[in-house]
Amino acid sequence: MLTAIEGIYENGQIILKEKPAVQQRVKVFVTFTEEVAEAQTETLTHPSTNLRGAWKGADKKEIADYFDNIRSEWKRDI
């Protein structure tokens, strides 16, 4: 299954406009267009400001599973 989600590449990061509907690790392809994205109208004091509300509505088990997954990815052989 292929899914396309619009996003913006800025300062070395890709910011997706919506959350992908995948639950496991999947391969992705990133395509850059020539179209210039509009600048953000608000100035963020720190990049972590983008994370505000990211876990709103998530239960503790979901959060723990997410970070367990990150830990296991960090420890894996590349």
CA angle 59, 63, 64 (to 5 degrees): 115
Q: What is the mean pLDDT of each run of 10 residues along the chain (78 residues)?
A: 86 88 89 80 62 78 87 73
State residue 75's pLDDT score: 74
- Reported as a single tens digit per residue, the pLDDT across 5-18 is 889 888 888 888 88
Cβ(10)–Cβ(17) under 8 Å? Answer: no
* Cα–Cα distance for residue pair 37/21, rounded to 1 Å: 24
Would you list the domain boundaries of the chain? Answer: 1-38
At residue 20, the pLDDT reads: 87
* pTM listed for this prediction: 0.43
